Amino acid sequence: MGKRCVVGGCSNTHQQNVSLHKFPKDSKYHRLWVAAVKRTRKDWLGPSSQSYVCGAHFTSESFVSSYRLSAQLGIGAPTTRRLQDNAVPSIFGESISKSRDEIGTSRPVVAKLDRKRLMAGPTETGTPSKQPGPSHSGDDGPSAAVASSSGQTEKPPGSPDYTPSVYSSDESEHDNDGASRDQVKEPQDRLFLVQESCLLSLFKICHQCGGQIDADISRIQGSLIRISQVCRDCSRHSTWTSQTFVSGIPLGNLILSASILFTGARPHQALKIFNNMKCPVHNVRTYMRHQRQWLQPVIQHVWLKKQAEIFSGLKEIAYH
């Protein structure tokens, strides 16, 4: 007996040009899959090692992006498509035919028309809409109180009760300290790991009067640190920041997120390496925000630009 979808009322097999997917090993999503199938089969006892759910029961967003692109271009085999790790079957009954149309598996004519549209006007699809900049709330500028990891605010340096926050939240990355927010360019300088005591040893002498200063790390924002300095003699106060900003985001934080994504590393494991070194970095939530607001739009922009160049080259070859 060949492979068959276990969803009630579905008779799709591996011979019908559809993909079949085994139940996930992850316990959370395994339970979600089982619950979804049981809604169509009340007396179902559960999956076996040979139980499958066909691709007709998943939305187009459930599949990896490379397959969705292949489906739009009308290339690739539907039977080889792969699901996202967090995919859950959600299409049953009459909705199945609509889903097939959306993911382009049962409508070869639609795929053919899409190919013609792309070949006829690559420049129309090659210019992505302008992505809105990331929204931020609050004020992390020099006049704002520094938020600590416990959610409390700290008193400014110079106050008798001032205690610097070493581990402040990195969830709000907007900074109004006048740092550079010019067009993003590839950084030319290198990043270094510096020991805390070695770094603070550089902040001993006041540049204005030559007196001794008190320096403390007043803020840690992911990989960025801010050092507050107060001169004992002239009472001059100044701050030093370890990184420049890109639209309010510390450059080092954005570079770290980009490096994790572009190398295919797992964000949890990559960030855990730094945590084990006691080297502060931003968390996974911030990484996901960087990916959503900055990195994925950049990837899409580059892809569409290269796609337009390829189509333009193919058209020139065809005309000659």
What is the tens place of the pLDDT at every residue in 233-248? 999 999 999 999 988 8
Per DSSP, 194 falls in state -
Confidence of residue 145 (pLDDT cuts 50, 70, 90): very low
H helices of the chain, in order, are 27-38, 65-73, 95-103, 108-120, 122-125, 196-200, 251-262, 267-276, 284-290, 296-319
- The span from the CA of 69 to the CA of 299, in Å, is 13
For helices 267-276 and 251-262, angle between their N-to-C axes, nearest 10 degrees? 130
Q: Which residues contact 299 (CB under 8 A, 6 or more apart)?
A: none
The separation between CA 289 and the C-alpha centre of its own chain, rounded to angstroms, equals: 5
- What residues does each domain of the chain span? 20-120
Is the entire prediction scored with pTM above 0.85?
no
Mean pLDDT (whole number) for 211-232: 94
Confidence of residue 109 (pLDDT cuts 50, 70, 90): very low
Q: Would you list the DSSP string of 126-175?
A: SSPPPPPPPP--S--STTSPPBBTTS-BPPPTTSTT----SSB--S----
